[in-house]
Structure 1
Amino acid sequence: MHAMNYRITLPADYDMRIIRRRVAAKGRLLDDFPGLGQKAYLIRERGVDGSPVNEYAPFYLWNTPEGMHSFLWGAGFQALCDDFGRPDVEHWTGLGFARGPARDTVPRAAARRALRLSPGTAPATAVAHALEEMARTAERPGVHSTAVAVDPRRWELLHFTLWEDTAPEAPGEERYQVLHLSRPELGKLPEGRTW
């Protein structure tokens, strides 16, 4: 499993209805994309849920690197680059994935938290704690699914959770609205830790 995210910060006065219309028109195009576990079309709106910015921030969980490559080097991502400029694409190696009690609902909210490991932290210990936290999160009412991933270049752990309705406030988390969820191979995402 691979996690991928790009975050496009938009002007403070940007009409976010433009993004909503874009997702309504194009979101379904990835509903059957090979190699894609799920893609959450995320936005933050300035002044909503404490967001300081307007942002479009799709988040992906890929089953295969071939699927991810097919998307990044294909027409869909190029269209996004043509419209917004080429964003920095963050990506992480998947450590674990779990479905929650609300797995059969359509999620409307998401929470994302990135945590840099301090130089003295043992990576295996940090990963074990992150997987334990993921398992606890997956048991919470309202959770659709949750994942944890790592970027070993920057030693950054990423926690990502989709929620049925509202993502509860938590320190260090960014909260998003989910406009659409493409999930062509959600059933193929392995549950639990990935090794």
Structure 2
Amino acid sequence: MHTMQYEITLPADYDMGVIRHRVESKGHLLDDFPGLGFKAYLMRERGKDDSPVNQYAPFYLWNTSEGMNAFLWGPGFQGLSEDFGRPVVEHWTTLAYEEGATSGAVPRAAVRRRQRIPASTSLPGLADELAAEARRLTHAEGAVSALTAVDPRTWEAVHFSLWESEAPHGIGDVFQVLHVSAPERGASRRGRQW
């Protein structure tokens, strides 16, 4: 599985209602997209949940590389690029995906935490620790799902979790979830991915 995110940072005085309207009018377009485990339409507002910026930052879990490629080379991503400029798309290999006790709930918040992996770190042991982090997050009250993924180009891990209502603070960047398209979430393989 593949994990992907792009961030569109907007001016401090940007009307974030524009982003809300965009998601309300277009979010459903990926509700049946082949290969997509889920897309969480995320937003941060400057001054809320300790966010220093206004930002639109969708996060994706792809079950197939074909689905991811169809999206990136298709009209949806082209439309976003025409409206905001083509963003840098960060991409990680998923190490572990887990669902929480409230996995059927509609998430309202998300948390993303980045972790640098020093060159001196033993990778086999670390992979187990990273997978365990996803499992640990899903045991918290209100956790819908969690994943851990790694970019082996930069050796950065990303921990991502969806929450039923309020996300825990102090563990990463907090986002509002405006919509979730999850056509193939049920087919997303649980547990460690190796």
TM-score w.r.t. the length of structure 1 is 0.98
Matches within 5 A, 1:44-123: 44-123=44-123
CA offsets 1:5-42 (integer angstroms, 9 cap, x no match): 00010000000000000000000000000000000000
1:191: which partner in 2?
190
* Matched letter for residue 92 of structure 1: W
Q: SS state of the match for residue 94, structure 1?
A: strand
CA contact 2:133–2:148 (8 Å) conserved in 1? no
Q: SS state of the match for residue 15, structure 1?
A: coil
What is the distance in 2 between the residues matched to 1:87 and 1:104?
31
CA offsets 1:23-77 (integer angstroms, 9 cap, x no match): 0000000000000000000000000000000000000000000000000000000
What is the distance in 2 between the residues matched to 1:134 and 1:69?
26
What is the distance in 2 between the residues matched to 1:123 and 1:16?
41
Measured on the aligned residues, the alpha-carbon RMSD in Å equals 0.7
For structure 2, the 5+ residue unaligned runs are: none
Percent identity among equivalent residues? 57
The CA deviation at 1:170 is 2.2
* Matched letter for residue 41 of structure 1: Y
The CA deviation at 1:194 is 1.1
Q: SS state of the match for residue 25, structure 1?
A: helix
CA offsets 1:90-116 (integer angstroms, 9 cap, x no match): 000011100001101100000001111
CA offsets 1:163-186 (integer angstroms, 9 cap, x no match): 000111124x10000000000000
TM-score w.r.t. the length of structure 2 is 0.99
1:21: which partner in 2?
21
What is the distance in 1 between the residues matched to 2:92 and 2:133?
18
Aligned length: 194
What is the distance in 2 between the residues matched to 1:176 and 1:81?
22
CA offsets 1:111-134 (integer angstroms, 9 cap, x no match): 001111112111222211111111
Q: Does 1:178 align with 2:177?
A: yes
What is the distance in 2 between the residues matched to 1:127 and 1:107?
27
1:129: which partner in 2?
129
1:39: which partner in 2?
39
2:153: which partner in 1?
153
The worse-fitting range, judged by mean Cα deviation, of 134-143 and 17-26 is: 134-143
For structure 1, the 5+ residue unaligned runs are: none
